[in-house]
Amino acid sequence: MAGIFGTDGVRARINTGLMRAESVVRLALAAGRWFVDHGQDDDGPNQDGPNQDKKPPLVVIGKDTRLSGYMLESALVAGFSSIGMECKLLGPIPTATVSVMTQKLGAHLGVMVSASHNPHHDNGIKLFGPDGKKLADEIEIEISQLMQGSIALAEAENMGRVRRILDTADIYCDYACETMPDKQIFKGLKVVVDCANGAAYMTAPKTLRALGAEVIALYDEPDGLNINHGCGAVHPEKMAEAVVLHGADVGIALDGDADRLILADETGCIHDGDKVLAVIATAMQEAGTLRPPVVGTLMSNLGLERYLDSRGIAFARAQVGDRYILKMLDGSDASQGEGGNLGGEGSGHILMPDLIPSGDGLMAALQVLKASVTNQKPLSYVLGIYESVPQRLVNLPNVDKAIIDDKQIVSLCQKLTEAFAGEGRILLRPSGTEPLVRVMVEATDSAKLDAVMDELTSALMAVNARLQEAASEG
């Protein structure tokens, strides 16, 4: 993507690059200027024309529990208020709440301060439009361009006011509970929830208890530095161990901003986002509410695709990143027709746009638990919906991202893929959030999978050494 934005907003190590205070102020100035000039009119949100509304433009700002969130929140407020935008601060809250509040309050813009599943020393900024959805690539490019020039500021009497909303946890809980048919639907269930010392440390236990569950909360004591540290959706093994230890019915692991979900059934077996997607797709099909295609990504497991095909559910693959899934779902990707209402990634991002504008891990978990309760089946049965095809992912750091277009690598990938004879896949892609090249190999034959991965990674490292040597000589 052109400009300063990656696949999930702006992200960097704190006090470096775009995560320095002065850079964040500049980003707020540019984003605020864009939305003031292209924001709402008297009929509500509109990203296509100049702002005619006399009310002060509004931005809502949420954050996770990183220590650096205080600094970034203040920098954003400085930028937005100097443009003349009213700021409403939500405090530590799941990303999806920013999306919902942007929509409900009729705001021009929503901002989430978070680096998702990354360690505490990283942070990031995600932007949402008036519809509660992440911004289109074209808008992010224009904001990037605005950052380079002179930005008009407000007159002194038009400076923005700043207010803090104190009941956001209750707002989230009420919203989530309204998606369930019975306010005590989970009465009798024992649930372990790993809050990753992140944004859901209050909302996740509160919501599950409100719905009748007995809750064992893990990693719900954030100190600003322990977010995602050995816990959460990236480290679900401790959650799974706690399920077995406490004899729980299910384990839920969220990430730092609570938009990812990994589950464990009552046996402690861990299930990824592809399994969650299959369960929700099945429930929606049976309820008559599913609008295909279900959208996954290039990384989605072949087992998921085969399972959905067995049920007559069309499946489409988007680029990796929930923004591209949503683009395909909302029909803006013309190649996929009118779009659908369910998508997700194996990493645990689940999108249910009829329910909530952006991905939310706990909301997805509630849908899976509802399927278990409705069918009166344990989670091991519900989540054992299909057998995953063996898949390995290797991250190669410090590798020139141009390597994926190298003729030798392209030729090798083609040869290895043809050797799979339809029973395997290879995918190379640069990370959109980290300095990595990701290598994915998937095959029904585990031994062949390992052999292909070894051959491919060895070739990649050799070609990378050649490219680096050529660059140093040049």
Burial class (CB in 10 A: 0-12, 13-18, 19+), 209: middle
**One-letter-per-residue 3-state SS of the chain:** CCCCCECCEEEEECCCHHHCHHHHHHHHHHHHHHHHHCCCECCECCCCCCCCCCCCCEEEEEECCCCCHHHHHHHHHHHHHHHCCEEEEEEECCHHHHHHHHHHCCCCEEEEECCCCCCCCEEEEEEECCCCCECCHHHHHHHHHHCCCCCCCCCHHHCCCEEECCCHHHHHHHHHHCCCCCCCCCCCCEEEEECCCCCCCCHHHHHHHHCCCEEEEECCCCCCCCCCCCCCCCCCHHHHHHHHHHCCCEEEEECCCCCCEEEECCCCCEECHHHHHHHHHHHHHHHCCCCCCEEEECCCCHHHHHHHHHCCCCEEEECCCHHHHHHHHCCCCHHHCCCCCCEECCCCCEECCCCCCCCCHHHHHHHHHHHHHHHCCCHHHHHCCCCCCCEEEEEEECCCHHHHHCHHHHHHHHHHHHHHCCCEEEEEEECCCCCEEEEEEEECCHHHHHHHHHHHHHHHHHHHHHHHHHHHHC
Alpha-carbon distance of 166 to 170, in angstroms, equals 9
Alpha-carbon distance of 39 to 50, in angstroms, equals 7
Alpha-carbon distance of 26 to 3, in angstroms, equals 14
Residue with tokens 């290895």: 416
Q: With contact defined as beta carbons under 8 Å apart, do 318 and 343 qualify?
A: yes
- Which residues are annotated as catalytic? 116
Say how many residues make up the chain.
Answer: 474
